[in-house]
Structure 1
Amino acid sequence: MIELLSYACIGLGIFFWFWGTYPLLGERSVLFKLHSLSVGDTLGSMAIAIGLLLRIPNEWPLLILAIISLAIWNTILGYVLAYCSRGERKND
């Protein structure tokens, strides 16, 4: 049962990777493309890490650290990208 749940999490993670990559082919703005890519990659990588956690529970400290790092890193990276995309503003 655990093995089946592990495979389901890993499969869901791969699905999220492709789901986040698909909008890159569209005609939307660069920020929309980056947002969908980062969300898909974050969710996909977290689902894969959870699937690995179910398969090799002895490595739980490293896998939990990986999940937390993914959440923090991608959130901060999103804020940095949004700040940088504001463009140049003139002070009057």
Structure 2
Amino acid sequence: MDNKFFKNVEKKTGVNMNDVFSLANSLQNANFKDEKTVRNVIQRVSQIANKKVSKQMEDKIVNSIVSGDQSLDFNTIAKMMNKK
């Protein structure tokens, strides 16, 4: 990764951009109505962001996404993870 922008993002966030791109590529054909798929995505995002997600919060996120109430994107998951 030679792009200075991505290096700066990595420095500021501590998130490896290769991990983010790998996750994004894996999501292209994913079935977000499948609970197991959504749980795997949440766990991967949690790992990449180095932020633990409780079982209760994971259940809430999964139910929200599988039911179609929320779209699956990093911003939505991050907001849900940060709610107290």
If the length of structure 1 is used for normalisation, what is the TM-score?
Answer: 0.29
Greater helix share, 1 or 2?
A: 1
- With a CA cutoff of 8 Å and minimum separation of 6, indicate the structure with the bigger relative contact order: 1
State which structure, 1 or 2, has the greater radius of gyration over its C-alpha atoms. 1
